[in-house]
Amino acid sequence: MSTIKDKVVIVTGAGGGIGSATAALLAERGAKVVLADRNLTAATRVAEKIESDGGTAVAMPVDVTNRSEVANLVAAATDRFGRLDVLVNNAGVGPVSYLHELKVDEWDLMVEVNLRGVLNGIAAALPVFRAQETGQFVNIASTAAYTTSPTMAVYSGVKTAVRAVSEGLRKEAGPNLRVSVVSPGFVATEFVQTVSDEQVREQLLQQRDKFAISPDAIARAVAFAIEQPPEVDVNEIVIRPTAQS
């Protein structure tokens, strides 16, 4: 029987892409999933599909940049299911661009969602995990946390910060808590649609349609990190298309 069965798992950004694939796979393996997304309609659609397939799922409207909304999310999940086993900090945006274009509002958005959103998740769940003396963070970074390229500077910087924070958290967390970073390469989702520069977006869409892998591949990596025995802490998984340079 899967060790994922009956675990209570929150997935942020679960209304689409990697988050919805992850929530669906974990629910299929018996987890009780709480789907958080700023787009409640999308998260509800995914939760209803999971329930109609026999799983347990609830959807909540949450903007991860809002600390109190994330705190409420964790409180609601623990109220509803009595505990929290895993927080998958997945919500993210990627409006990448050349620095000289000075799209500073988009830089700020990436910092807010991709980094502050993760910090808000840690602030909300860490006290619960410490009180329970068990719990796992799965933070979704990116291959851009290991390398960068033109247009990716801010996105890479923020995802590198997610890796650094995760490693610091792991070192502080002690023997009972687990911290996993899952870093995808190009995945076939709507992520690229947040790119406002038309030329950059077109290039990325062409690459995506040529070689991006399914979000199900990332969901399986997340499940692998979760399903290990409690004393086994899978710290980093990097998973990219074979065709990605």
Active site residues: 155
User: Which of 180, 184, 77, 206 has the alpha carbon at shortest distance from 132?
Assistant: 77
Structure tokens at 224: 């692998």
Minimum CB separation from ligand NAP for residue 104, in Å? 18
Residue 94 is a binding residue for ligand NAP (CB under 6 A): yes
Binding-residue pattern over the window 45 to 64 for ligand NAP, x denoting contact by CB under 6 A: -----------------xxx
Of 9, 13, 116, 165, the one binding ligand NAP (CB under 6 A) is 13
Which contiguous run of DSSP H or E holds residue 154?
Answer: helix 153-173
Interface segment toward ligand NAP; rule CB under 6 A; list 34-42, 44-52, 168-176, 226-234: 34-42
Q: What is the spatial distance between Cα 114 and Cα 132, in angstroms, rounded to a whole number?
A: 27
Sheet with 8-12, edge to edge strand ranges: 56-61, 32-37, 8-12, 86-89, 135-140, 177-184, 236-239
- Pick one of 107, 129, 137, 186: the residue that binds ligand NAP (CB under 6 A): 186
Should residue 156 be labelled a site residue for ligand NAP when binding is judged by CB under 6 A?
no
Interface positions with ligand NAP (CB under 6 A) = 12-13, 15-19, 37-39, 42, 62-65, 90-94, 113-114, 117, 140, 142, 184, 186-187, 189-191
